[in-house]
């Protein structure tokens, strides 16, 4: 467990400090009791529900929150609920749609970036604890590792109508944050349900279609860097980003492949286009885009996504297929 691993590593660095690891997920029932025991809280979580939970708990307990985050090559640092500064809800009153959120498990993160942001968090904790105050209770620190640049963004002040820290708060106790955010409080890979069941097939069903040589197009919508790791040889590759921006070259290429495959049929039925990605999340987004393509140009296309993506294929169909 991360908590025990961190405590063990810190004891080796400084045995004079008392470290108390809590094994288990933080939830609405335990958060306020834990937060009240400490003077300063550092949020190092990797999901939206936990960020709302920790921030609300700190407001209700009257504790400053040193919040850090990192994704890919970028990092952020803010201090919430400190010396009249805003809380997390002041900046983000409503959670983003769950299908728009990328976490580290899905998007990746460079470990050096988390180390830099973590050290900056530790510095702010020490400054607050020593009475020096924080530099980031009214500003957000943005770190771009690719450019090697730091910049500060001035934050809007505390909102008088904030649901938790405002003049007349409506949030007076901790709630179900997974329901509030529509996503799980975990840093593991997400499983989204964006399509009805009739627009999805399992990897076992797709394997049967392959074995029966049913005419179709398999569309792989992963980024090129993932396709370079592994792919199904017969798949057509168009990144989701190209579909989202309606890239003309990519759409013409897809139209060409659909027409070529339709020549194998009697042209009387809809040609199936099955969409695959790593986990079955981006493929659902791609299916929604394909369903809106003009029939005049693409003909009658029946788009479905493959549940669980290529990682389900590796687990359930082909054990030699690389997992990453």
Residue numbers annotated as active site: 104, 277
Residue found by looking up tokens 């294929």 in the block: 313
Beta-carbon contacts of 102 under 8 Å, excluding residues fewer than 6 positions away, are 71
- Cβ count within 10 A of residue 117: 23
- Cβ count within 10 A of residue 155: 18
- Cβ count within 10 A of residue 69: 21
**Burial class of residue 159 (count of CB atoms within 10 Å of its CB; 0-12, 13-18, 19+):** middle
Tell me the C-alpha distance between 283 and 206, whole Å. Answer: 14
- Contact call for residues 183 and 101 (beta carbons, < 8 A): yes
CA 237 → CA 129, 226, 241, 283, distances in Å? Answer: 53, 11, 12, 12
- When computed from its CA atoms, the radius of gyration of the chain, rounded to whole angstroms, is 24
Tell me the C-alpha distance between 284 and 304, whole Å. Answer: 8
Query: Which candidate, 188, 190, 27, places its Cα nearest to that of 100?
Result: 190
Tell me the C-alpha distance between 73 and 49, whole Å. Answer: 23
Tell me the C-alpha distance between 82 and 138, whole Å. Answer: 9
Pairing mode, strands 139-144 and 149-154? antiparallel
Task: Map residue 215 onto helix, strand or coil.
Answer: coil
**Burial class of residue 263 (count of CB atoms within 10 Å of its CB; 0-12, 13-18, 19+):** exposed
């Amino acid at each position: 467990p991360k908590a025990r691993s961190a405590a063990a590593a810190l004891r080796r660095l400084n045995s004079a400090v008392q470290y108390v690891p809590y094994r288990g997920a933080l939830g609405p029932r335990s958060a306020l009791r834990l937060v009240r025991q400490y003077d300063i809280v550092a949020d190092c979580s990797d999901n939206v529900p936990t960020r709302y939970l920790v921030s609300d708990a700190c407001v209700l307990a009257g504790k400053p929150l040193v919040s850090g985050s990192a994704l890919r090559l970028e990092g952020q640092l803010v201090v919430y609920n400190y010396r009249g500064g805003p809380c997390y809800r002041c900046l983000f009153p409503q959670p983003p749609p769950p299908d728009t959120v990328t976490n580290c498990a899905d998007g990746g993160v460079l470990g050096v970036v988390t180390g830099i942001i973590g050290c900056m968090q530790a510095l702010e904790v020490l400054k607050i604890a020593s009475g020096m105050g924080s530099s980031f209770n009214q500003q957000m620190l943005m770190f771009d590792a690719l450019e090697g640049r730091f910049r500060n963004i001035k934050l809007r002040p505390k909102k008088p109508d904030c649901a938790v820290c405002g003049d007349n708060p409506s949030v007076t106790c901790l709630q179900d944050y997974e329901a509030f955010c529509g996503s799980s409080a975990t840093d593991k890979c997400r499983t989204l349900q964006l399509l009805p069941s009739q627009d999805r097939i399992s990897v076992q069903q797709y394997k049967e279609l392959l074995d029966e040589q049913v005419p179709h197009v398999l569309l792989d919508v992963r980024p090129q860097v993932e396709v370079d790791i592994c792919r199904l040889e017969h798949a057509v590759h168009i990144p989701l980003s190209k579909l989202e921006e309606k890239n003309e070259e990519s759409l013409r290429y897809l139209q060409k492949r659909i027409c070529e495959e339709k020549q194998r049929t009697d042209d009387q039925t809809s040609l199936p286009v099955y969409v695959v990605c790593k986990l079955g999340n981006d493929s659902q987004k791609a299916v929604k885009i394909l369903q809106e393509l003009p029939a005049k140009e693409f003909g009658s296309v029946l788009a479905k996504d493959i549940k669980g993506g290529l990682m389900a294929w590796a687990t359930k169909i082909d054990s030699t297929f690389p997992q990453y």
